[in-house]
Amino acid sequence: MVSDESELVARVCQGDRRAYASLVARHLPAVEVYARRILGDEYLAQDVAQEVMLVLWQRLDRFNPEKSRLTTWLHRIAHNRCIDLLRKPGYKTLEDAREPAAQPPTTQETFGAASIDAALCELPESQRTALVLTYYQNFTNREVALIMSSSVRAVESLLCRARGNLKKHLETDQ
């Protein structure tokens, strides 16, 4: 699969649209889901994912396969774009802007997907990024450190704090 991917990369650099479509099909879902978990907003996440795919089309010559995997490079671009958005003054997700629910959450909602996604959004940005990249995107700590321009030790520490905060959240909910 890796050599297959390097062949696709070489073909995209030469302007092959079919090879580009294959790479997009392979990487777009992961980048979109990552951005959604970091930003907490479906539409902004889709914008970020499409911007990353545009970079894949226009700037693939800047990718160095000796330094990282293609998915790591794309997530690094997505990460930087998400950080730009999160640090803009007055950043507010559509989920934040929604009216609070009239009914209190059901037990299923309290312990379910909505609850975990809300708890993730409450984590500090760096802890959330480290956890999402490691747990949901399946990157190694070394790759996460590369994406976040950090060290492996710092990533381990962020993960510890992120999981500690989530455990507290889980205990409070229960």
Partner 1 sequence: MSPERESQRRARALIEALGAEQSAWPDAERQFILSALADSDVLKVLHKQEQTLDEWLNQSSVTANLDAQAVARQISQSYPQKPALEARLGAALERIADLFAFGLWRSPVAASVTLSVGIALGTMVYVPSEDWSNAEQYSFTVIGEE
Residues 27-66 close enough to bind partner 1 by CB under 8 A: 28-30, 32-33, 36-37, 42, 46, 49-50, 53-54, 57-58
Q: Which of 8, 24, 44, 70 binds partner 1 (CB under 8 A)?
A: 24
Closest CA to 41 of 155, 156, 133, 120: 120
Output 15 or 102, the one with its CB closest to partner 1.
15
Q: Does the protein bind partner 1 through residue 92 (CB under 8 A)? A: no
Closest CA to 174 of 119, 116, 107: 107
Output 17 or 92, the one with its CB closest to partner 1.
17
Q: Does the protein bind partner 1 through residue 97 (CB under 8 A)? A: no
CA distance 55 to 33: 18
For the chain, report the end-to-end CA distance as a whole number of angstroms: 44
Helix, strand, coil proportions of the chain in percent (round to 5)? 75, 0, 25
**Under a CB-based contact definition with an 8 Å cutoff, are residues 147 and 79 in contact?**
yes
Applying CB under 8 A, the residues found at the interface with partner 1 are: 15, 17, 20-21, 24-25, 28-30, 32-33, 36-37, 42, 46, 49-50, 53-54, 57-58, 84, 87-89, 111-113, 115-117, 120, 134-136, 140-141, 156-157, 159-160, 163-164, 166-167, 170
